[in-house]
Amino acid sequence: MFADGIGVKMAARWQGLALSENVNGTDMFPLLCEQLEMNNTSVYLLGATPCVVAKVAKRLGTQYPGIRVAGYSDGYSYSERKNELKSLINQSKADLLLVAMGAPRQERWIDENIRELNIKAAMGVGGLFDFYSGEVPRAPVWLRELSLEWIWRLAVQPRNKAKRYLIGNPLFLLRVVLTPRAPSKPSRGAIL
């Protein structure tokens, strides 16, 4: 999980923690790819629509020839192709599985399936495939720097994002303020 978004930033501040940077899968991706190339890592891509994930596989192979795209599957047919999908991933011999199904669906999927997969690591990357394929435009940097990327995403995909940003996020913040703050320093003799 990344410390991604203004909600996490506000929750952290409420708990007395200052996050220095917003971290998300899309911004981390070029850095990750450089490392994957250096280590000749193979990747399986899971998530988004069939057309989008195919575009990602193609672009990734061209932009980073050192990365082997071991295979890819869309993120909508996973429930009816449960066992087939696991076999495909295992047969691909991928080292890393990138799961782009949006949070928290991707985290749940990873949690339910990771024990049956012969991969070294799996990572949830949210809307990365939509951005990397060029299907969905990313917010301008200045808006991201103001921690207002959510407004852009709501404007670009109002039907997909309204529930999350207009209901889910205020609810999350309400839960945060109802959660007792952690003591700033453990007192002597505290059970840790």
Q: Which residues bind ligand UDP (CB under 6 A)?
A: 47-49, 75-76, 100-103, 105, 126-127, 129-130
Minimum separation from the CB atom of position 34 to ligand UDP (A) = 21
CA-nearest of 17, 19, 18, 15 to 182 is 15
Minimum separation from the CB atom of position 76 to ligand UDP (A) = 5
- Contact assessment for residue 6 and residue 165, using Cβ atoms and an 8 Å cutoff: no
Minimum separation from the CB atom of position 29 to ligand UDP (A) = 12
Minimum separation from the CB atom of position 181 to ligand UDP (A) = 27
The nearer residue to ligand UDP, 95 or 130, going by C-beta atoms, is 130
Minimum separation from the CB atom of position 13 to ligand UDP (A) = 21
The nearer residue to ligand UDP, 101 or 119, going by C-beta atoms, is 101
CA 63-77-150 angle, to 5 degrees, is 60
The nearer residue to ligand UDP, 90 or 169, going by C-beta atoms, is 169
The nearer residue to ligand UDP, 56 or 70, going by C-beta atoms, is 56
Kind of pairing between the strands at 68-73 and 96-100: unpaired
For residue 43, list its beta bridge partners: 69, 96
The nearer residue to ligand UDP, 50 or 140, going by C-beta atoms, is 50
Give the span between the Cα atoms of 79 and 108, in whole angstroms: 12
Write down the residue that tokens 């109002």 correspond to.
Answer: 158
* End-to-end CA separation in angstroms for the chain: 24
